Structure 1
Amino acid sequence: MKALRDENGLYAGPIVDAHHHLWDLSLDRHPWLRGETDPQLARNCLPADYLREASGYDIVASVHIEANWDPTDPLGEIAWLDGLEKPAGIAARYVGYADLASPEVDGLLEAMAAHGRVAGIRQILSWHPDPSKSMVLDRHRMADPAWRRGVAALGRLGLSFDMLISPWQVEDALDLLRAFPDIKFALNHCGSPFDRSAEGMARWRAGLHALARAPNLVLKVSDLVAYDPEWTEASLREVLLTCLDAFGPGRCMLASDHPVVTRFASFRQTYESFRRTFADLSDRELLDIFAGNAARFYGIEGISLQ
């Protein structure tokens, strides 16, 4: 068995990146990227680009999360991903997009579920009191009966749901998790610690611990710098250890959120922070959070976790 630690005692084993994105701007299928001026986003991110930035790490598999492709054609993103030249393991599973409140969602979800690589669905739900930071208008979309009918269809088809919410939506999320105990949910990006004030961080920590009591929820520890652009090692460590304390090593999945993360941190900075912060975990726990938990949650098979 290959050693899981390097000479400094830091994790050096296999990685399953549980959350990243690919896109080709020449296709003009991502409305949110039209006119983008940030050089980290206004560029293609294809498998070769992703692997170049992940060089030096043993990426054995990854999960592609829908990248806000044209919402009128969600299967188009799946077909595009299928057509990409990519090494074995990269984008081994897809999380697609669906508007769960749509009257036609059942047919779309059936098509997604029939696809060999689609493991789940994401529909961004994140609401913020400041409209400029809010991704949806309706704070309580998770309580909408029409939307919940779409969630029920996920359960019938064996699809998971990637949940991107804010700390202001914890109660609605808890109600949703209780209502659908047989569906697997993944909370994205550490539960979105938007507000970096003492009060805001306390709200986030309390919400994270409350959500962790739902047994059908796992946590993606990813893109911490999205909410902390002037990050320090100490500020990242605070969030990482809070995540670990709330969900434990058995329910945390580490992920890059590449290339969105590169607005404020590189792939290497992200994973070096993971390696340093979690160095005190056991080998088994490290293997779980870096690779095993994501492989099990998304049903990734045929990879070596030795």
Structure 2
Amino acid sequence: MDNFPIIDPHHHLYDLKTGHYPWLQGPMLERVFGDYSAIRNDYLIENFLADIKNQNVAKTVHLQVEYDHNDPVAETRWLQGIADKHGYPHGIVGFADLSSPDLQRVLEAHLEFPNVRGIRQCLNFHRDPVKTFIDSPHLMSDARWRAGYALLQRYGLSFDLQLYYTQMEEATALARDFPDTPVVLNHTGMPVDRLPEEIEGWKKSMTLLASAPNVFCKISGLGMGDWKWTVESIRPFVLDAIEAFGVERCMFASNFPVDKLFSSYDDIFNAFKAITRDFSDSERRALFHDNAERVYRL
């Protein structure tokens, strides 16, 4: 009953012999997901296929993984070569700095590769520098950055949105200002702060962000805020996200190999299956497969 087809719309691959990934090859950094020395080695398509072998993963989407930003298209070029040979990944979300004066050329270069579907530029800004990914807390309101964001619609690209709940009010305004650009929230809105008032703030902010109809939610990455998670500990976050966005705008994802720091691939998808056991077949099909297929045009 549980072996229905799955689309995993958020995973990473990397080849440290041919790519340049400063966070994986340079000094260890303090990151929100803690000690990541266990994933500072190649994670190739063969490794990924071995991890997914017990789940019926029909298609996947690869998210940029902080490849050398001096050549943001190199990662896409490498991934398209893998997809042409193996089928996976079926969709590619590349990196672009939306405030770059070179943005139009970068987007056009990404779009030379048929599997490209969207762009991600991580926007995480937090009072704790360990949890912060960018220098400016308000890129989404910056005129130059927004001019770059406006190009996404012209090129038919979606935007993968990675930030914290404290930034969701600004993100809601952005999504409403550009209603024809699909926005895919990463990692359940990254609820890494677990004081009761912060969880409440996350819930309210998720409801606000969901009020923009062009925003979708990837339920993933919950291990980053709960390194020893269980089905019961992540259940409320999964159900709150679905309550905010609705079954038709959520999708389950692995965040592998980052979440491999906390659990196996089977643990993640079996947890999502357990939490949705009482959902209808059509609701589960939407969450595990159909929504990702529709949003990422797979």
TM range (shorter): over 0.9
Q: How far off is 1:139 after superposition? A: 1.1
CA separation of 1:129/1:113 partners in 2, compared to 1, >3 Å: closer, same or farther?
same
For residues 129 and 83 of structure 2, the distance between their equivalents in structure 1, rounded to whole angstroms, comes to 39
Q: How far off is 1:233 after superposition? A: 2.3
CA separation of 1:85/1:294 partners in 2, compared to 1, >3 Å: closer, same or farther?
closer
Please identify, of 34-43 and 110-119, the stretch whose mean Cα deviation from structure 2 is larger. Answer: 34-43
Corresponding residue for residue 170 of structure 2: 172
> Within 5 Å, which residues of 2 pair with 1:16-31?
16-31=7-22
Q: How far off is 1:88 after superposition? A: 5.0
Corresponding residue for residue 303 of structure 1: none
Query: Is the contact between residue 19 and residue 75 of structure 2 (CA under 8 Å) also seen in structure 1?
Result: no
Please identify, of 61-70 and 27-36, the stretch whose mean Cα deviation from structure 2 is larger. Answer: 27-36
Q: Which runs of 5+ in 1 are unaligned?
A: 6-10, 301-306
Percent of paired sites with the same residue: 38
Corresponding residue for residue 149 of structure 2: 151
Q: Does 1:47 align with 2:45?
A: yes
For residues 93 and 85 of structure 1, the distance between their equivalents in structure 2, rounded to whole angstroms, comes to 9
CA deviation profile, 1:172-207 (whole Å, cap 9, x unmatched): 101101110010000000001021110110011111
In the alignment, which of 2, 5, 14 is matched to residue 14 of structure 1?
Answer: 5
Query: Is the contact between residue 219 and residue 247 of structure 1 (CA under 8 Å) also seen in structure 2?
Result: yes
Query: Is the contact between residue 9 and residue 253 of structure 2 (CA under 8 Å) also seen in structure 1?
Result: yes
CA separation of 1:86/1:223 partners in 2, compared to 1, >3 Å: closer, same or farther?
farther
For residues 83 and 101 of structure 2, the distance between their equivalents in structure 1, rounded to whole angstroms, comes to 35
Query: Is the contact between residue 118 and residue 158 of structure 2 (CA under 8 Å) also seen in structure 1?
Result: yes
Report the TM-score when normalising by structure 1.
0.92
Q: How far off is 1:215 after superposition? A: 0.3
CA-atom RMSD in angstroms: 1.4
Q: How far off is 1:229 after superposition? A: 1.0
Query: Is the contact between residue 98 and residue 105 of structure 1 (CA under 8 Å) also seen in structure 2?
Result: yes
Q: Does 1:280 align with 2:278?
A: yes
Q: Which runs of 5+ in 2 are unaligned?
A: 29-34
Please identify, of 108-117 and 48-57, the stretch whose mean Cα deviation from structure 2 is larger. Answer: 108-117
Corresponding residue for residue 269 of structure 1: 267
Q: Does 1:255 align with 2:246?
A: no
Q: How far off is 1:87 after superposition? A: 6.3
Q: How far off is 1:82 after superposition? A: 2.2
Corresponding residue for residue 233 of structure 1: 231
SS at structure 2 position matched to 1:84: helix
Query: Is the contact between residue 40 and residue 259 of structure 1 (CA under 8 Å) also seen in structure 2?
Result: no
Query: Is the contact between residue 24 and residue 41 of structure 2 (CA under 8 Å) also seen in structure 1?
Result: no
SS at structure 2 position matched to 1:273: helix
For residues 36 and 100 of structure 2, the distance between their equivalents in structure 1, rounded to whole angstroms, comes to 33
In the alignment, which of 173, 181, 184 is matched to residue 183 of structure 1?
Answer: 181
For residues 69 and 151 of structure 1, the distance between their equivalents in structure 2, rounded to whole angstroms, comes to 21
Query: Is the contact between residue 231 and residue 275 of structure 2 (CA under 8 Å) also seen in structure 1?
Result: no
> Within 5 Å, which residues of 2 pair with 1:1-306?
5=1, 11-34=2-25, 35-36=27-28, 38-84=36-82, 89-300=87-298
For residues 285 and 28 of structure 1, the distance between their equivalents in structure 2, rounded to whole angstroms, comes to 39
Q: How far off is 1:228 after superposition? A: 1.2
Q: How far off is 1:83 after superposition? A: 2.4
SS at structure 2 position matched to 1:135: coil
SS at structure 1 position matched to 2:61: strand
Corresponding residue for residue 31 of structure 2: none
Runs of 4+ aligned residues of structure 1 deviating over 3 Å after TM superposition are: 35-39, 85-89
Q: How far off is 1:170 after superposition? A: 1.1
Query: Is the contact between residue 194 and residue 200 of structure 1 (CA under 8 Å) also seen in structure 2?
Result: no
CA deviation profile, 1:101-144 (whole Å, cap 9, x unmatched): 00110111122234211000000001111122111121111100
Q: How far off is 1:86 after superposition? A: 6.8
CA deviation profile, 1:200-241 (whole Å, cap 9, x unmatched): 100111111111111000000011111111323221111111
SS at structure 2 position matched to 1:40: helix
CA separation of 1:64/1:85 partners in 2, compared to 1, >3 Å: closer, same or farther?
closer
Query: Is the contact between residue 125 and residue 135 of structure 1 (CA under 8 Å) also seen in structure 2?
Result: yes
For residues 111 and 173 of structure 2, the distance between their equivalents in structure 1, rounded to whole angstroms, comes to 25
SS at structure 2 position matched to 1:226: helix
Query: Is the contact between residue 24 and residue 46 of structure 1 (CA under 8 Å) also seen in structure 2?
Result: yes
Count matched residues.
Answer: 291
- What amino acid is aligned across from residue 230 of structure 1 in structure 2? K
Q: How far off is 1:41 after superposition? A: 1.1
- What amino acid is aligned across from residue 278 of structure 1 in structure 2? T
Query: Is the contact between residue 40 and residue 260 of structure 1 (CA under 8 Å) also seen in structure 2?
Result: no
SS at structure 2 position matched to 1:250: helix
